Chains A and B, each alone.
Chain A
């Protein structure tokens, strides 16, 4: 023990770190800020450290080569002792990190922590969100499978739309004219060197500011932030009702970080690693690429935007979002901190949660995608076929053979790209059906060139039977007036 003491004294005589470190650890925090709401930042840091450690472990074996990366990941999963577990930890750690970072940001926003004098802390936090997303995207590419390959194609297609520099940007992104070996190499460099470097730098500054400026005080309705008085008020608060961060304030942080780590371990152990999915061979086209969870909202958005708005939205939308986030602490740098007095802030969070949540939910189900095998895999329900004429049944065959089922559902089975056709005869007269089938329109392709007149007749006869029992099919009233009878 005495030897240990002497060694530490010898070291500190040279490093002189004991005093500044003690000062940092014992910096005063307001008593109420030692709250369960204030644990997300430290949890994000803990997960980041887990990511660094597991990332280094993965880098020991990862082969950044388009020819071998996929095989390397397979052997990591199956040949290396605990290889699958380290991969799973890194993958689940990534999801947890993004989730905790987003929750941290929402909490900071609702507790007014971005206000004076913590504007720069917030701005660095916005950068941290961006680089964390950057880590997630580049990491998804390193799991070099079909989703990664086609995800790069999507990234390149989006970048190409930037006027003027789009073409050059695609080549810079891919490291050449196509997605190939050079692409994976540069994403490896980004994921392992460049983005983590930025992340570490931003985290260091972010933490420095938290210590220099003090943790945000617990927002009290009526305690208004003013630039002229806040610093003095905060100082008084920490003296009057404060305590040292270590050991008094750190307990909840440690407990929550430990719980999050255990949750990641549990997910990794029970749910296993992410992929790799199919081989990144572009000639295998039987694939439906899908991004990772945190990019699903974007994937959904890209299918719902009207084509003409897509490019401006993609290019201008993120810029506006970023500017709003960066400008926020300057526009609303003073005033109430408590969410109880900031209804618009609360509504904004609810609105954004609703929007991103709904888009993510849609991204999981992709109702806009044709169900490519519905025409051969989903039979027409039998009750649509009994008591039908031969012509109508022939029409049902056309319905399957021409893949109508791929986009249209019957009894909730089949594609959801177009409207369900269970009751289409109530909505459209036979003439309207013929027109719709032959000319298309309203996002439906025209089938005039793919259907013979006989096939069209049969198909429309079948669709004429698609109406609920007791509800008459639509009819053209003018026909009765003109000819005195139904056609």
Chain B
């Protein structure tokens, strides 16, 4: 088409059609992207709720026990995947540590061995001391901890998400985790 070609009725129709479809595309794209990105932009309601692990009595002082809780937000299809385990270490009467089950290396479930006072990971052999600090193996840091509080001799934790090494490393810069608080 040369520069001097006149604007024809058919040519204008094509342009108008393209414009309309472009507009429709833009209107469609926004909700589609919002829908796709929803897991990152919206925190599920109630995710930061405190969850009870039961009476503090069931965690003897000086020992580390496996506990489990129902994820604060449960979908209709979650089934057993919403039951999450964690390790509870009771240091003394009022001091606890609640560790996520996930190894700080790649998220496999760590196991506590009271015989050697170590958490060990079955995947790549990461090991942690009783206080969750790194002992050996590929993890770059200690076990992830959930915030906890003691309310009338009942232990409560806050577990918003599955802890992963990268996401928490970024958060750790802002808030230094308190050791055995």
- Using A303-B124, A369-B123 as known contacts, say yes or no to A445 and B135 having CB atoms under 8 A apart: yes
Interface locus among B21-29, B71-79, B89-97: B71-79
Q: Which of the listed residues A66, A161, A285 has the most CB atoms from chain B within 10 Å of its own CB?
A: A285
B129 on interface, CB distance cutoff 8 Å: yes
Query: B64-87: contact bitstring with A at CB < 8 Å (1 yes, 0 no)?
Result: 001010010111111111111100
Interface locus among A181-189, A226-234, A253-261, A339-347: A181-189
Q: Are the CB atoms of A171 and B40 closer together than 8 Å?
A: yes
- Using A180-B82, A288-B123, A303-B138 as known contacts, say yes or no to A160 and B75 having CB atoms under 8 A apart: no
Query: B148-177: contact bitstring with A at CB < 8 Å (1 yes, 0 no)?
Result: 000000000000111011110010000000
Report A143-183 residues with CB < 8 Å from chain B CB. Answer: 149-150, 153-154, 156-163, 166-168, 170-172, 174-183
CB neighbours of A184 from chain B (8 A): 77
- Using A167-B166, A285-B109 as known contacts, say yes or no to A178 and B77 having CB atoms under 8 A apart: no
- Using A153-B102, A171-B40, A285-B111 as known contacts, say yes or no to A450 and B167 having CB atoms under 8 A apart: no
Inter-chain residue pair count (beta carbon < 8 A): 207
CB neighbours of A185 from chain B (8 A): 77
Question: How far is B42's CA from A175's CA once the two chains are assembled, in angstroms?
Answer: 11
CB distance from B76 to the nearest CB of A (A): 7
Q: Which of the listed residues A153, A287, A289 has the most CB atoms from chain B within 10 Å of its own CB?
A: A153
Of chain B, the residue at the smallest CB distance from A291 is B123
Of chain A, the residue at the smallest CB distance from B162 is A178
CB neighbours of B160 from chain A (8 A): 177
Of chain A, the residue at the smallest CB distance from B72 is A177
Q: Which of A153, A174, A446 contacts B106 (CB 8 A)?
A: A153
- Using A161-B165, A166-B166 as known contacts, say yes or no to A180 and B78 having CB atoms under 8 A apart: yes
CB neighbours of B117 from chain A (8 A): 449-450
Q: Are the CB atoms of B123 and A154 closer together than 8 Å?
A: yes
Q: Are the CB atoms of B123 and A289 closer together than 8 Å?
A: yes
Q: Are the CB atoms of B83 and A281 closer together than 8 Å?
A: yes
Q: Are the CB atoms of A156 and B125 closer together than 8 Å?
A: no
Question: How far is B79's CA from A406's CA once the two chains are assembled, in angstroms?
Answer: 34
Report A389-408 residues with CB < 8 Å from chain B CB. Answer: 401-403, 406-407
CB distance from B89 to the nearest CB of A (A): 14
CB distance from B120 to the nearest CB of A (A): 5
Q: Are the CB atoms of B75 and A180 closer together than 8 Å?
A: yes
Q: Which of A177, A287, A407 contacts B44 (CB 8 A)?
A: A177
A440 on interface, CB distance cutoff 8 Å: yes
Q: Are the CB atoms of B107 and A167 closer together than 8 Å?
A: no
Question: How far is B120's CA from A450's CA once the two chains are assembled, in angstroms?
Answer: 15
Q: Which of A285, A302, A310 contacts B101 (CB 8 A)?
A: A285
Q: Which of A157, A162, A443 contacts B137 (CB 8 A)?
A: A443
Q: Are the CB atoms of A280 and B80 closer together than 8 Å?
A: yes
- Using A154-B108, A156-B107, A177-B47 as known contacts, say yes or no to A67 and B162 having CB atoms under 8 A apart: no
Question: How far is B124's CA from A281's CA once the two chains are assembled, in angstroms?
Answer: 21
Of chain B, the residue at the smallest CB distance from A168 is B40
A283 on interface, CB distance cutoff 8 Å: yes
CB neighbours of A372 from chain B (8 A): 111, 120, 122
CB distance from B45 to the nearest CB of A (A): 12
A68 on interface, CB distance cutoff 8 Å: yes
- Using A156-B107, A160-B164, A180-B82 as known contacts, say yes or no to A282 and B101 having CB atoms under 8 A apart: yes
Question: How far is B170's CA from A145's CA once the two chains are assembled, in angstroms?
Answer: 31
B118 on interface, CB distance cutoff 8 Å: yes
- Using A175-B39, A181-B77 as known contacts, say yes or no to A283 and B83 having CB atoms under 8 A apart: yes
Q: Are the CB atoms of A308 and B111 closer together than 8 Å?
A: no
- Using A161-B166, A162-B166, A180-B75 as known contacts, say yes or no to A302 and B80 having CB atoms under 8 A apart: no
- Using A156-B164, A166-B166 as known contacts, say yes or no to A65 and B79 having CB atoms under 8 A apart: yes
Question: How far is B123's CA from A288's CA once the two chains are assembled, in angstroms?
Answer: 6
Q: Are the CB atoms of A180 and B166 closer together than 8 Å?
A: no
Q: Are the CB atoms of B82 and A302 closer together than 8 Å?
A: no
CB distance from B127 to the nearest CB of A (A): 5
CB distance from A260 to the nearest CB of B (A): 34
Question: How far is B24's CA from A223's CA once the two chains are assembled, in angstroms?
Answer: 55
Q: Are the CB atoms of A282 and B85 closer together than 8 Å?
A: yes
Of chain B, the residue at the smallest CB distance from A279 is B80
Question: How far is B139's CA from A401's CA once the two chains are assembled, in angstroms?
Answer: 25
CB distance from A160 to the nearest CB of B (A): 3
3 tightest A-B CB contacts, nearest first: A67-B79, A181-B77, A160-B166
Known: A150-B123, A372-B122. 15 other contacts (CB 8 A): A66-B79, A68-B77, A153-B106, A170-B166, A172-B39, A174-B39, A182-B39, A185-B77, A282-B80, A289-B123, A307-B140, A372-B111, A403-B113, A406-B113, A406-B120
21 contacts between A and B (CB under 8 A): A67-B78, A153-B102, A153-B162, A154-B106, A154-B123, A159-B166, A160-B165, A161-B165, A162-B166, A167-B167, A170-B166, A176-B73, A177-B73, A178-B71, A282-B101, A283-B84, A289-B123, A375-B116, A443-B136, A445-B129, A447-B116
